[in-house]
Structure 1
Amino acid sequence: MHLSVSTETLWIDTPHGRLFASRWFAQEGVGNGAKPPIVLFHDSLGCVALWRDFPEQLCRATGHEVIAYDRLGFGQSDAYPGTLPLHFIRDEAAGFFGHLKAALGIEDFIAFGHSVGGAMAAVCASLYGQHCSALITVSAQAFVEDRTLEGIRVAKEQFAQPGQMGRLEKYHGAKAPWVLAAWTETWLSPAFSDWTIENTVETINCPSLAIHGQYDEYGSDLHPKRIARLSTGTGEYLIVDDCHHVPHREAPDRVLAAVSEFLGAAAR
């Protein structure tokens, strides 16, 4: 059955500033509240707009409501007050996601994160263990690997070239320099070098699926394997052939099929 999808945008107040969010709803009686919404956590340079049409595709493929939001400092959300702290991953789950959850009246949910958003989704699955039905990560990092740092150094050099900052300004406006620095300077900082997913995430009791591109320039397949081991229940990982860091854009059909199958099994 072909599902029609409707969407809405909204703003969420927090003590530190407003967050921009979007919601996608499947019509024709599917996604009517019986299924928990999928909450998307974007990557280090991302925002709602940079998910492009994936949220709609995800909604259509699964029948679940999909919610995406711009973290504070990103996209259309307000500027972040100061430098991003080294404990920002846990802060997102413990603080800002809590405001989103309360404002939208979310009870049970599915956490879905890309890149560093995957680590944030994993923390949410741990902190809200009684309410997180499933965890899905895509290209998430589990530790600070040499490949991760080299990929960030290359990207930092590329963004230093004339005209390249405009790529970020298109989505983040005047916040673009902060967005870039929040990514590169945090991850390249010696003080962040001992960060690991195991030291950030406690027990995950829900089923989990860690998706990773075969040629991900920001991490080897050690990352999804470590993330899959976090779950006390079913923890799976999937390596998507011929993909780099954005499998949901490079191979959306394969990712959507894997997610739909995983959620179907998790619901049984």
Structure 2
Amino acid sequence: MSLSVNTEVLWIDTPQGRLACSRWFPADNPGKPPIVLFHDSLGCVALWRDFPQQLCQASGREVIAYDRLGFGQSDAFPGALPSTFINDEAVNAFAHLKRVLQIDSFVALGHSVGGAMAAACASRYRQDCLALITIAAQAFVEERTLQGIRDAKVQFQNPEHMARLSKYHGDKAPWVLNAWTETWLAPTFADWTLERLVGAIDCPTLVLHGEHDEYGSTLHPQRIAQLANGPSECLILDGCYHVPHREAPEAVLAPVSRFLGAER
């Protein structure tokens, strides 16, 4: 029987602008630490679709998702995206969200580049992050990643693709696309690695990666799992590509629920 879920939409004020935030609560809230979601390079709360509600029901935990500055319903980003944007998310936006929502302990779950942001938060808030979960996250700049971005850049020359992006990001859509493509393709970003970004990750870590991920080989989940000082588990999801939580939700929800089943 599915748990009943309540929702809340709110705004988080930061010095850089307002963040749109959504929360999903189990009706019978057991008071477990919440799961905070970090979206991908073209993502936003709406593009998680029904995954947050499914995750709330499957885990019995509150789920929190927010649009990063420049994305979705949040305010525009002031200028170009800096190459330090992954760590900046942990230092700036997430710090404000954590304070405003009075989040003491939490579980960090990120998709794609959001996985790197979740790892940065797990490292920066080592005493508070009880578990880290990544889905299709990158750990370094790989040619496969760059080629996938180049291919996507060509596809977005089709007005229909930009129209779909504008549906979720409004007039910020061109900035969102450039923030992804031009940052990752820039020569100055070529030597980025997750190992250089984050320090120790002490919490249990679950790393999920699609077998056919078009933006990264299975070297990425292996390297992410190696960062963990605590217990780590790496699962390659059969038949999945870059968005397993939409392609095969149960293949993600089942291991996540099992992983969080131990009181974390």
TM-score tier (shorter): over 0.9
Q: Which whole-Å CA distance do the structure 2 matches of 1:233 and 1:82 have between them?
A: 38
Matches within 5 A, 1:1-268: 1-27=1-27, 29=28, 31-33=29-31, 35-265=32-262, 267=263
Amino acid at match of 1:79: A
Give identity over the alignment, percent: 70
TM-score (norm 1): 0.97
Deviation readout 1:11-33 (Å, 9 max, x if unpaired): 00000000000000001x3x332
Report the Cα offset of residue 167 of structure 1. 1.0
Cα RMSD after superposing both structures: 0.8
Report the Cα offset of residue 77 of structure 1. 0.0
Report the Cα offset of residue 173 of structure 1. 0.1
Deviation readout 1:193-249 (Å, 9 max, x if unpaired): 000000001000000001000000000000001001111010111100000000011
Q: Which whole-Å CA distance do the structure 2 matches of 1:177 and 1:264 have between them?
A: 41
TM-score (norm 2): 0.99
Q: Which whole-Å CA distance do the structure 2 matches of 1:235 and 1:163 have between them?
A: 41
Q: Which whole-Å CA distance do the structure 2 matches of 1:263 and 1:134 have between them?
A: 8
Q: Which whole-Å CA distance do the structure 2 matches of 1:256 and 1:121 have between them?
A: 18
What are the ranges of 5 or more consecutive residues in structure 2 without an aligned counterpart? none
Q: Which whole-Å CA distance do the structure 2 matches of 1:161 and 1:55 have between them?
A: 30
- Number of aligned positions between the proteins: 264
Q: Which whole-Å CA distance do the structure 2 matches of 1:225 and 1:201 have between them?
A: 16
What are the ranges of 5 or more consecutive residues in structure 1 without an aligned counterpart? none
- Which 4+ stretches in 1 moved above 2 angstroms? none
Q: Which whole-Å CA distance do the structure 1 matches of 2:258 and 2:165 have between them?
A: 34
Amino acid at match of 1:255: V
